[in-house]
Amino acid sequence: MAAHKIAHATLKGPNVVKEICIGLALGLFAGSLWKMHHWNEQRKTRTFYDMLEKGEISVVVEE
Amino acid sequence: MIEVFLEWRFLTIAPCDAAEPWQLGSQDAATPIMQGIIDLHHDIFFFLILIFVFVSRMLVRALWHFHEQKNPIPQRIVHGTTIEIIRTIFPSIIPMFIAIPSFALLYSMDEVVVDPAITIKAIGHQWYRSYEYSDYNSSDEQSLTFDSYTIPEDDPELGQSRLLEVDNRVVVPAKTHLRMIVTPADVPHSWAVPSSGVKCDAVPGRSNQTSILVQREGVYYGQCSEIRGTNHAFTIVVEAVPLKDYGSRVSNQFILQTN
């Protein structure tokens, strides 16, 4: 019985540094997906206002 | 594919500048201030996602590895100096990255336009609004004033939004610096238009000022944001028109009001 407990106590657990690194990598990946969405929206907004400025599109209904 | 999924999931573009059913995000920005607010939100949301995914991962892994059946004898760890230092310093850096764009936006919102083209006074009443255009009269003449009532629930025309439309809209010129002076006639009110990024409290005995630059023509809806009695949520509708049409629109509005 004692031997079984000792054997169990020496089992290696997870590597903390490795887990933190994987967690950070996943977090940064998810964050970068959001950033890509944000940059895409900014680009669409900028394009919209550029086209509005140039007169290519209009938000005013012609009479 | 991921981009398509994200667009579907986070699509928040409202076809009109008013609240949409089941809307998740902000209304489309009509002013640089609102665009700045949306950008700041996106910047902060990046950190939110980072922390959420990281913490969730740590939690799930801890629950997985240290399950009582797989690991009945826990380790007796009292402290770890290195990890304690890291987990203190790293989270304290994140608010610094958030604070920089936040303060930049905050101070730019507070900047008062020195010489606005137009000044409009919004006066809150129970339960309607009145607007004064004082730029077009000399000191001894009365200002151009009109009232703005919300169209009742049983009275809207086809295509109008329920409890969002008014009989007389605030007409402003697009791409022009405006000054709004907000004050109440009775109890506290608040002049709020989400797509313009404006929320200005009307405090009795005080006039508050805010600057707006509407970047595109359109009709922008808002609601009173300070509870003021039974018919509290009376609405605000700002109509931004091309500068060349502004004069005729405003004079038509006053003619109609006078009649």
pLDDT per residue as tens, chain B (259 positions) = 555 554 444 444 434 577 788 888 888 999 999 999 999 999 999 999 999 999 999 999 988 888 888 788 877 778 889 989 999 999 999 999 999 999 999 999 888 777 898 999 999 888 789 999 887 766 666 778 889 988 888 777 777 778 888 888 999 999 999 999 999 998 888 999 999 999 999 999 999 999 999 999 999 999 888 777 776 667 899 999 998 888 888 887 777 666 5
ipTM: 0.80
> Does any domain span residue B58?
yes
Q: The pTM is what? A: 0.83
In chain B, residues with a C-beta closer than 8 Å to the C-beta of A3 are: none
> Does any domain span residue A50?
yes
Structural domain count of chain A? 1
* Over residues A9-26, mean pLDDT: 82
Q: What is the rounded distance in angstroms from the CA atom of residue B71 to the CA atom of residue B68?
A: 5
Q: What is the rounded distance in angstroms from the CA atom of residue B221 to the CA atom of residue B196?
A: 9
Task: State the pLDDT at residue B226.
Answer: 79
Across the interface, of B50, B75, B242, the residue whose CB is closest to A60 is B242
Encode pLDDT of B54-106 as tens digits: 999 999 998 888 888 878 887 777 888 998 999 999 999 999 999 999 999 99
CA distance B184 to chain A (A): 33
Task: Give the residue numbers spanning the domain of A50.
Answer: 21-56
Close Cβ partners of B222 (under 8 Å, ≥ 6 residues apart): B191, B192, B193, B194, B195, B196, B198, B235, B236, B237, B238
> Does any domain span residue B216?
yes
> Does any domain span residue A30?
yes
Q: Indicate which of A20, A39, A46 best probes the interface with B, i.e. most B CBs within 10 Å of its own CB.
A: A20
Q: What is the CATH number of the domain that holds B79?
A: 1.10.287.90
Using alpha carbons only, give the angle B180, B186, B190 rounded to the nearest 5 degrees.
40
Q: What is the rounded distance in angstroms from the CA atom of residue B253 to the CA atom of residue B146?
A: 8
